[in-house]
Amino acid sequence: MTAPTDARAPVAAPEDFSSLLKTRGLYPQPPVVAFPSSISHLPSPLTHATTILAFKYADGVLVAGDRRATAGNVLVYDRADKVLEIDQHSLMAIAGVPATAWEMARVLEHSFQFYRRSQLAEMSLEGKVRALSKLLRDNLGAVLQGIGIVVPIFATYDHAAAAARLYFYDAMGAQFEAADYAATGSGSPAVRSVLHYENTWGKKPLVKLREEDAVLLALRALDTAAESDTATGGVDRRGRVYPIIKLIGPAGITTLSEKALAKVFKKHVA
């Protein structure tokens, strides 16, 4: 003999509010759109900016970046600025998601300005380096979701030590000081190979190069990376688009014009 059922027994509650609406017939069903099975599971690709490099030379530090921004196999923009001025003696070069990186650069710039105006003094080098590290660490949630990874390079001139300083970071905010050079982004393996070769077996180590030779090396490194990495623009010969190259020295930051870069490129590379 079976036990009598209790009409008042609780019914299993829906898992969420949307499920509750569906059980009551109050949730409008969206139209079904058919996609090919090969692409229906693919997420929309994010825009990424690569490749960047920096190295110390005779008069300070050179920071360069190609101009290409991509989203998957799509070329989004061919004139992206990946080398950003933070203050009169500091640069941040970006590789990764530009929206996140540019916001980090703006926060850094305002943080340095606020400290300067409130304390009537420049923020210490250690403070600047750690400020960027904290921004990267605070962005860890987005990194774990795969939507906001940034792997930057930070370069500055330390007047107290009368020397250029160069740092690179991982996506979680760990900082590393580079002795001679640094490169990040999808084309960085090729760039690091070129810089290592020149620094080890070239006519001069990187720190003894004069300005024109340093600029020439940066152009050659980015152009080499572009040969094997589709996300790196290198030098666009047809569109006459050249990388962004900035120099940091005791007097501050110098931005090289496209005309000056074209002259060096045509004379020594092309």
Count of domains forming the chain: 1
Query: From residue 269, how far is each of 23, 139, 235 by CA, in Å?
Result: 69, 39, 10
Is residue 66 over pLDDT 80?
A: yes
Residue 33 maps to a domain = no
Residue 10 maps to a domain = no
> What would the mean pLDDT of 64-70 be, rounded to a whole number?
95
Residue 16 maps to a domain = no
Is residue 25 over pLDDT 70?
A: no
Q: What is the mean pLDDT of the chain?
A: 88
Residue 23 maps to a domain = no
Nearest to 152 by CA among 219, 84, 106, 220: 84
Is residue 44 over pLDDT 50?
A: yes
Residue 254 is among the residues annotated as catalytic for this protein: no
Whether residue 215 contacts residue 261, with contact meaning beta carbons closer than 8 Å, is answered with yes
Amino acid at 269: V
Residue 26 maps to a domain = no
Residue 164 maps to a domain = yes
d(CA 249, CA 263): 22
Pick the range with the lowest mean pLDDT from 6-15, 60-69, 122-131: 6-15
Is residue 69 over pLDDT 60?
A: yes
Is residue 214 over pLDDT 70?
A: yes
Q: What is the CATH number of the domain that holds 158?
A: 3.60.20.10
**Pick the catalytic residue: 5, 23, 47, 50?**
50
Residue 27 maps to a domain = no
Query: Percent of the chain having pLDDT more than 90?
Result: 73
Note down the domain range covering 158.
47-269
pTM (2 d.p.): 0.82
Q: What is the per-residue pLDDT for 47?
A: 79
Is residue 163 left, alpha or beta, with left meaning phi > 0 and alpha meaning psi from -120 to 50?
beta
Amino acid at 247: L
Residue 207 maps to a domain = yes
- Give 167-192 pLDDT, tens digit per residue: 999 999 999 999 999 999 999 999 99
